[in-house]
Amino acid sequence: MTAIRNKLLFTTVLAALTACGGGDINVSPVTQDTSVDNSVTNSNNVAAPITTVNCAFYINEAGQTIQGNFDGLDCIYASTFVDAGNNLTFDLTIPKLDNGGVHVFQGSLFVGETYDTDAKLAAAGISKGGDGPTLTIEAGATLAFTSTKQFLIVNRGSQIFAAGTQLEPITLTSISDVESARAALPTLAFDAVQQWGGVVINGFGITNKCAYTGTAAAGDLATTDCHVDAEGAAGLDESQYGGADNTDSSGRLEYVIVKHPGAEVANGDELNGISFGGVGSNTIVNNLEIYSSYDDGIEMFGGAVNINNYVAMYVRDDSIDIDEGYAGTITNALVIQAETDGDHCIESDGVGSWTAAIGLAAVAQGLMSTPTINNLTCITSTNTAATGTHSQGHGFLFREDIQPTINNTLMISAFSVEDPATGNYCLRLDKGTPQAAQDGKVQLNSVIFACVEPTSGGTLPNLTTQQAWAESVGAQFATVVTADDATATSNTALVLLEGTPAIYSVAFANMLVDGAAPTASAPVGGAAYIGALSTSALDWTAGWTYGIHAGQRAVDASGNDVALWFE
């Protein structure tokens, strides 16, 4: 059936309206005025203004208006409004609420239907982003989910337009987080995880989990019945991604914060902050933060979506995870692991379901991952496998025939004590990628590593060590790494960062590595700085992120700001 599109308005309900329960209501949208006329006591003899609130609604096929209930502060949406198996098939706008009100979803929020065959997609009229329903979230809105089994899916053909601003970011979180923030003292730890599922966005982009004809070089890649089960796909939670259109659009995310995700959903999958499944390059993602996720921060399953200004804080698995032929660019990324948890800053695979033979075939067609990462700062911890929930802290893992380009980057684990025996390496090449490095298809341009254990794994096929290879292509490894930090305040032989907090890069010309000017290649593009952030005056994280800057952080049980562990 052709997807139904019905552009929605929203209803106004008086903010003073008393609680009316958690169920949905079927009404004609009206403005209700039950305010008290205090014009007699008002010194200016002016009637009291009417305060209104907007709860989202849609009109179903039967002509009924289905809307959330306003309880005096929040808008509540029961599972009859939307849930797994009760997917949103109409356009929906979710507005900002006043007085810190949030939109509370008692079911999952699945936008559009999913289809697992070409025939079903064709029958529904779904071939690209924009064919299905659209979810619009206004700047400043907060959406909270009440169960660990709940999550948000944007299915192929559907789109999400969540355009926050620096002053009014959009937050996707759990009801436990909301309740903690409203309590006199927090009831939820600042680094709590698995409070809800997370976000899954599916598109028609290329994934090497499907079979293709043609090659990327010729621009004629084509596929049929490419429908890969997304994370969380089981029963009513099922969704698919994949196709042959790396320019597809799943909408827009700007100034969006995803907090405390990573719970196991229906089939036991631990979701990421956001899983991008075959999401195309016409999807706009600017200023995105994943805060305290149990699984990965972002995971790219193919596609070519580009991300500008990305923050990953306290991610317990991999902050950036790449797989299945992802071919996009990530520009300006700040990764801060927790002091005692976190796996890789970057874990990246070139080919899904890799074997040597599958890898060779994928490379021949140009289906391996070819990500570009510009201006990345990773501050990782030296936690061990005994303390980390997934593994010990690591830097970059490139494997399974991936061909990445990393430019103007800092990879630092020097802020904490490190035992060389724990395996907290900065760089590891594995499974086909050593050959790609030897062939000049892995690029490390103006990259500085500061870890006690520089590399891990074997040599390149020509017996060159990984460190020697990396240094030959533009990287540098600090050898004077102490158990303090990478600023001038203590280890004057290693000066890479400065500021309060110490997240700003020292100008490249003023950096010190082993007590001398860096020998890494000059910054790409003639830039004066490498890393995610140059000066506080140009700090793109200021004003909207959570957990970094004073006054915009979690508080502890005593009501004090939780500072970054390396401050």
In this structure, what token pair is assigned to residue 304? 């070519």
Beta partners for residue 104, in sequence order: 76, 144
d(CA 16, CA 31): 13
Cα torsion 74, 275, 156, 279: sign? positive
Cα torsion 455, 483, 189, 531: sign? negative
Question: Residue 484 has what pLDDT?
Answer: 63
d(CA 344, CA 348): 9
Residue 14's CB is within 10 A of a number of other CB atoms, namely 17
Q: Which residues of the chain have pLDDT under 70?
A: 1-53, 268, 418-421, 482-484
Nearest to 239 by CA among 351, 121, 348: 121
d(CA 122, CA 449): 50
pTM: 0.91
d(CA 129, CA 112): 11
Task: Tell how strand 497-498 and strand 504-505 pair up.
Answer: antiparallel
Sheet with 453-456, side-by-side order of all strands: 109-111, 152-154, 199-202, 274-277, 298-301, 320-323, 344-349, 394-399, 425-430, 453-456
Question: Which H helix or E strand runs over 124?
Answer: helix 118-124
Question: Residue 235 has what pLDDT?
Answer: 84
Q: Read off the pLDDT of residues 397-426 as tens digits, 9 standing for 90 and up.
A: 999 999 999 999 999 998 877 666 677 899
Nearest to 193 by CA among 178, 207, 174, 220: 174
For the chain, the straight-line distance linking the first and the last C-alpha, in angstroms and rounded, comes to: 57
Residue at token pair 């982009």:
205
d(CA 262, CA 315): 10
Beta partners for residue 148, in sequence order: none
Is residue 240 helix, strand or coil? strand
Distances 362 to 211, 216, 323 between C-alpha atoms, Å = 10, 10, 13
Q: Read off the pLDDT of residues 77-127 as tens digits, 9 standing for 90 and up.
A: 999 999 999 999 999 999 999 999 999 999 999 999 999 999 999 999 999
Q: Read off the amino acid at residue 364.
A: A
d(CA 156, CA 204): 7
d(CA 292, CA 268): 19
In this structure, what token pair is assigned to residue 229? 């089960």
d(CA 55, CA 70): 7
Q: Are 344 and 286 in contact (CB under 8 A)?
A: no
Q: Are 261 and 171 in contact (CB under 8 A)?
A: no
Cα torsion 298, 477, 480, 523: sign? negative
- Please state the domain extents for the chain: 1-36+67-187+194-307
Question: Residue 38 has what pLDDT?
Answer: 33
